[in-house]
Chain A
Amino acid sequence: MFAEPNAKVARTMRLLIIEDDRDAADYLVKAFREAGHVADHAADGEEGLALASHERYDVLVVDRLLPKLDGLSVIGALRAKGVSTPALILSALGAVDDRIKGLRAGGDDYLPKPYSFAELIARVEVLARRHGGREETVYRVGDLELDRLSHRVLRGEEEIVLQPREFRLLEYLMKHAGQVVTRTMLLENVWDYHFDPQTNVIDVHISRLRSKIDKGFAHPLLHTVRGAGYMIRDGAR
Chain B
Amino acid sequence: MTALAKLLRTTAFRLTLVYLLVFALFAAFLLGYFALNTRRMINDQIVRTVDSEIVDLTNIFERVGLRGLMIAVDARAGNPGSSLYLVTTANGDGLAGNVGSLEPGVIDRTGWVEAAYRRIEQTDQADHMALVHVVQMPGGFRLLVGRDLDERERLFRIVAIAGRWSVAIVIVLGLTGGFFVSRRVLRRIEAMGDKAHTIMSGDLSGRLPIAGTGDELDRLAANLNAMLGRIESLMRGLKEVSDNVAHDLRTPLTRLRNRCEAALRTAKSDRDYRDAIEATIEESDGLIHIFDALLMIARAESGELRAGMIPFDAAEIARDVGELYEPVADEKGLTLRVDAATPAPVTGNRELIGQALANLLDNAIKYTGAAADRVNGVAPEIVVTAQAQPNQILLSVGDRGPGIPAAERQRAVERFVRLEQSRTEPGSGLGLSLASAVARLHGGELRLEDNAPGLKALLILPRADATRGAS
Contacts and interface: CB of A to CB of B under 8 A. Distances in A.
Interface string A74-98: 0000000000000000000011110
B366 interface: yes
B65 interface: no
Given A95-B296, A96-B305, A97-B308, A198 B328 contact: no
A195 B358 contact: yes
A199 B288 CA distance: 14
Contact of B351 (A112, A194, A204): A194
Interface in A95-149: 95-97, 100, 112, 114, 116
Contacts of A195: 351-352, 354-355, 358
Interface in B366-391: 366
Contacts of B296: 95
A114 B296 CA distance: 15
Contacts of A199: 328, 362, 365-366, 426-427
Interface string A200-227: 0100110110000000000000000001
A201 B330 CA distance: 11
Identify whether the interface residues of B are mostly helix, strand, loop, or mixed.
helix
A193 B327 contact: no
Contacts of A165: 323
Contacts of A114: 284, 288
Contacts of A94: 292, 295
A201 B328 CA distance: 6
Contacts of A198: 289, 358-359, 362, 426-428, 431
Interface string A163-207: 001000000000000000000000000010111111101001101
A208 B305 contact: no
| Interface size range of chain A in the complex | 20 to 34
Nearest to A163: B323
Contact of A97 (B305, B358, B427): B305
Nearest to A97: B308
Interface string B292-334: 1001100100001101100000000000100111011011000
A37 to B, nearest CB: 22
Contacts, number: 71
Contacts of A205: 324, 327
A53 B10 CA distance: 63
Nearest to B358: A197
A101 B428 CA distance: 27
B349 interface: yes
Contact of A201 (B295, B307, B324): B324
B44 interface: no
B278 interface: yes
Contacts of A194: 351
A195 to B, nearest CB: 4
B234 to A, nearest CB: 18
Contacts of B362: 197-199
B327 A201 contact: yes
Contacts of B281: 116, 227
A210 to B, nearest CB: 12
Nearest to B355: A195
A95 B305 CA distance: 9
B308 A100 contact: yes
Contacts of A193: 320, 324, 351, 354-355, 358
A96 B289 contact: no
Given A96-B349, A195-B355, 18 more contacts: A95-B296, A95-B305, A96-B308, A97-B307, A112-B292, A191-B324, A193-B320, A195-B358, A196-B292, A197-B358, A197-B362, A198-B427, A198-B431, A199-B365, A201-B328, A204-B331, A208-B327, A227-B278
23 contacts: A95-B299, A95-B305, A96-B305, A100-B308, A112-B292, A114-B288, A191-B324, A193-B320, A193-B351, A193-B354, A193-B355, A197-B325, A197-B358, A198-B362, A198-B427, A198-B431, A199-B365, A199-B426, A201-B327, A204-B328, A205-B324, A205-B327, A227-B278
